[in-house]
Amino acid sequence: MIKTIYCLIGTFGIILLLNSCTTYHIPVESFRQQFEGLDSSTYVYVVTRTPWGEKEKYKTFPIEYVRCVDKDGNSINLKNGPSLEIRFTDSNNRKSVFYFDRISVNDTVVTGIQSRILWIRKTIPINTIKKIEIQDGRKKYKYVNE
């Protein structure tokens, strides 16, 4: 019986590893270029359905695909969506995680929402960013029509 439980736990662990989220990288200069010319006048409204079935409407930038790089250095166009999470690592190795479609960028700072439930907002200076990673967090948020 104990061996069966260990076998099930091991199998479950392997399945989790195989289905884990792939992390991509965005070079800092590429990130700046992708947001160049985007400001509050270019934002569009989107409607997201939450995991609880509620609809939420907010403004976001009109980026359909995010240009990033996989672990082997291959260019990837990652489809934008409400479950994309972006992680910034600064020069002091502090990490800040935001929902990609909830960030705003200007010449000096990135501001973003860290939680869709609590609406925690944080701002970080762009010149302190040394690494940018992005992944689909596979949270059950979907864009929907109104």
Q: Cα–Cα distance between 44 and 50 in angstroms, integer? A: 19
Strands 109-113 and 103-105: antiparallel
**What pLDDT score does 16 carry?**
38
Whether 71 and 51 have beta carbons less than 8 Å apart is answered as no
Render pLDDT for 78-118 as a digit per residue (tens, 0 to 9): 999 999 999 999 999 999 999 999 999 988 999 999 987 88
**What pLDDT score does 40 carry?**
85
Would the pTM of this model clear 0.85, i.e. be above it?
no
Render pLDDT for 66-77 as a digit per residue (tens, 0 to 9): 999 999 999 999
All structural domains of the chain with their residue ranges: 22-144
Render pLDDT for 11-31 as a digit per residue (tens, 0 to 9): 444 443 334 589 999 999 999
Strand order across the beta sheet in which 55-60 lies: 55-60, 44-49, 142-144
**What pLDDT score does 116 carry?**
79
Render pLDDT for 21-59 as a digit per residue (tens, 0 to 9): 899 999 999 999 999 998 889 999 999 999 999 999 999
Residue with the bigger pLDDT between 58 and 5: it is 58
DSSP code of residue 140? S
